[in-house]
Amino acid sequence: MSTMVKPSLQHRLMTEHDLPGVMEIENRAYPVPWTIGIMRDCLRIGYHCWAYEQNGGLVGYAIMSMAMDVGEAHILNLCVRPESQGAGIGRRMLEHMLELVRDSGCHLILLEARPSNPAAIRLYRSTGFEQIGRRKAYYPLPDGREDALVFALDISSA
């Protein structure tokens, strides 16, 4: 009988030096990726930008803003490199985001997902997120625009 040992997932704050690796993943993971300028702005503004590594290599990243005055966190980007998807990394990254939000004192987490993204939708629903709305034509597509489903999780009841 063989035993599968999952490589451990390390997290650390993202820095400017990570951006080439982040962009290499971003460009392959999304139909309309963020630009490096958007990533840089997220770092400069002081959003919570985290890098996730396995065996010393970047496998994913997550970016979140927190509005402490209203107690709301907003997950803006959660991304696992295509080769590593479906292995539980996205769920562990999301759990890390939830831990950060709990520790911060925020009570609500918001995020958007494309209706055409079943992996993300299943991940969020199975974590307790509920759909609270729909933003019309929110995401650009190579040939048009796509709505966003808006999800929320009340962390005080999670």
Q: To the nearest whole angstrom, how small is the minimum distance from the Cβ of residue 103 to ligand COA?
A: 22
Q: Binder to ligand COA among 63, 78, 100, 155 (CB under 6 A)? A: 78
Taking the C-alpha atoms of residue 132 and residue 148, their distance in angstroms, rounded to an integer, is 11
How large is the C-alpha radius of gyration of the chain? Answer: 16
Residue 101's DSSP bridge partners are none
Q: Binder to ligand COA among 31, 86, 115, 133 (CB under 6 A)? A: 86
97 binds ligand COA (CB under 6 A): no
Q: Which residues are catalytic?
A: 112, 124
Question: DSSP characters for 112-144?
Answer: EE-TT-HHHHHHHHHHT-EEEEEEEEEEEETTE
**Candidate segments 66-74, 95-103, 115-123, 139-147, binder of ligand COA by CB under 6 A:** 115-123
- H-type alpha helices, 17-85: 19-29, 36-45
Q: Binder to ligand COA among 39, 51, 109, 113 (CB under 6 A)? A: 113
Answer whether 29's CB lies under 8 Å from 77's CB: no
* Smaller CB separation from ligand COA, 30 or 138: 30
Alpha carbon distance, N-terminus to C-terminus of the chain: 38
- Minimal CB distance residue for ligand COA: 90
* Smaller CB separation from ligand COA, 57 or 88: 88
Which residues inside 15-74 make contact with ligand COA, applying CB under 6 A? 29-30
